Amino acid sequence: MDLVCVDDFEVHARNILPKNALDYYKSGAGQETTLDNNRKAFSKLRLRPRCLTNVNSRDLTTTILGRKIAIPVGISPTAMQRMAHADGELANVKAAEKHNTVFILSTIATSSIEEVAAAAPHAIKWFQLYIYNDREVTLGLIKRAEQAGFKALVLTVDTPFFGIRYADMRNKFTLPPHLKLANFQGEKASKINETKDGISGLNNYVNGLFDASLTWKDVEWLMRVTKLPIVLKGILTKEDANMACDLGVAGIIVSNHGARQVDGTPASIEALPEIITEVEKSGKNVEVYLDGGIRDGTDVFKALALGAKMVFMGRPALWGLAHSGQKGVERILDILKMEFDSTMAVCGCSSAADITKDKITHESTYSKL
């Protein structure tokens, strides 16, 4: 059977990936209600097509942090991609380069900063960062990203420690022994291959390195030690959006960490409107993006209609990787681009500027009839 949509690739990945890797990639926190809602929340938004608007020519491009990209769909940071395919992050970044969109490299990657930079020198690459207990480790990663030509730092702010993920607990998750955390050396890299007292290697890694005492002052510190733009990933409330705007960060990724931190948070698309409102109120030039639940071109359209500049997707790229490496990720991006382009045309939009809030409404609008 031909794979024609993202869901087809997910079904294929579920059939071929080892249980340890598949459960790590697909699982969410707790009972996974938020994981389910990340996708279902999009279905509660209805499109409002406008007709006879001349959509013979359509422009899918947008400008992100001053750089023009071909489609408003980027690749989120996901950890340990070589569990999905031998080329891992290198295949993913090459696909992003070919599609002229943004690739975000996870700190917890199985390919190093330098390897990713060499694999796709012309790709728009951002580096996802945690601030560690050992600030020298953090500084070292920042300097390496700067030297390798990465264009922004994406600070994950919703992870004082990792959420409760039952699948990883049952599997006592560890990174397969032939792989490593490529951005670290020695003990810091080996912790993830260990299971201690029934706790997964990933949790041992996190507990040993992550800093649960972080505050907004640490974001200020980060802005002082680098000239790269700072994007905060994991914002879900207007209060935190306000703090981010006050600090003058370059961007916000509205995200619930793929529903992997705590069950019961809003879906990312549900949280987006209040973030947009707060950023607009601030008057600051802070770009807002969305991560979580993107599976179809209509999802991209809906997020842009609610005010996001672009969206990022993580799991779909992993499913593409599992299928056929770089070509699989390229196919995922092709599919989302085709679906987004079709949605724009049918809804009467010739460019991203035409995708306004009046092009969608909540399902409750019609339930009142």
pLDDT tens, position by position, 11-61: 999 999 999 999 999 999 999 999 999 999 999 999 999 999 999 999 999
Q: How many domains, in total, are found in the chain? A: 1
Share of the chain above pLDDT 90, in %: 89
Kindly report, residue by residue over 296-310, the tens digit of the pLDDT. 999 999 999 999 999
For the chain, the average pLDDT equals 94
Residue 284 is assigned to a structural domain of this protein = yes
> What does the block give as tokens for 274?
């209040």
CB 177 within 8 A of CB 192: no
- What pLDDT is recorded for position 211? 87
Residue 70 is assigned to a structural domain of this protein = yes
Contacts 24+ apart (CB under 8 A), 11-20: 12/319, 12/322, 12/323, 13/84, 13/318, 13/319, 13/322, 13/323, 16/322, 17/83, 17/84, 17/322, 18/83, 19/171, 20/83, 20/171, 20/173, 20/174, 20/176
Residue 188 has pLDDT above 90, yes or no: no
Q: What is the DSSP string of 305-330?
A: HTT-SEEEESHHHHHHHHHHHHHHHH
Kindly report, residue by residue over 78-132, the tens digit of the pLDDT. 999 999 999 999 999 999 999 999 999 999 999 999 999 999 999 999 999 999 9
**Which residues, 6+ apart, have CB-to-CB distance to 88 below 8 Å?**
80, 81, 82, 109, 110, 111, 321
- What pLDDT is recorded for position 203? 65
Domain hosting 78: range is 6-367
- What pLDDT is recorded for position 198? 57
Whether 257 is a known active-site residue: answer yes
Nearest to 320 by CA among 26, 31, 7: 7
- What pLDDT is recorded for position 280? 97
Residue 194 has pLDDT above 70, yes or no: no
Least confident of 44-58, 191-205, 292-306, 310-324: 191-205
CB atoms within 10 A of CB 110: 24
Cα separation of 82 and 73, whole Å?
22
Residue 1 is assigned to a structural domain of this protein = no
Give the confidence band of 367 by pLDDT, cuts at 50, 70, 90: confident
- What pLDDT is recorded for position 18? 97
Give the confidence band of 199 by pLDDT, cuts at 50, 70, 90: low
- What pLDDT is recorded for position 193? 58
Residue 235 has pLDDT above 60, yes or no: yes
- What pLDDT is recorded for position 200? 61
- What pLDDT is recorded for position 226? 98
* Number of residues written out for the chain: 369
Residue 65 is assigned to a structural domain of this protein = yes
Residue 195 has pLDDT above 70, yes or no: no
Residue 305 is assigned to a structural domain of this protein = yes
Residue 14 is assigned to a structural domain of this protein = yes
Nearest to 72 by CA among 259, 357, 329, 339: 339
> What does the block give as tokens for 284?
């600051």
We report the CATH number of the domain holding residue 82 as 3.20.20.70
Give me the catalytic one of 85, 99, 257, 323: 257
Could you tell me the sign of the dihedral formed by the alpha carbons of 232, 238, 243, 249, in that order?
positive
Cα separation of 235 and 292, whole Å?
12
Residue 353 has pLDDT above 90, yes or no: yes
What average pLDDT does range 315-338 have in this prediction? 98
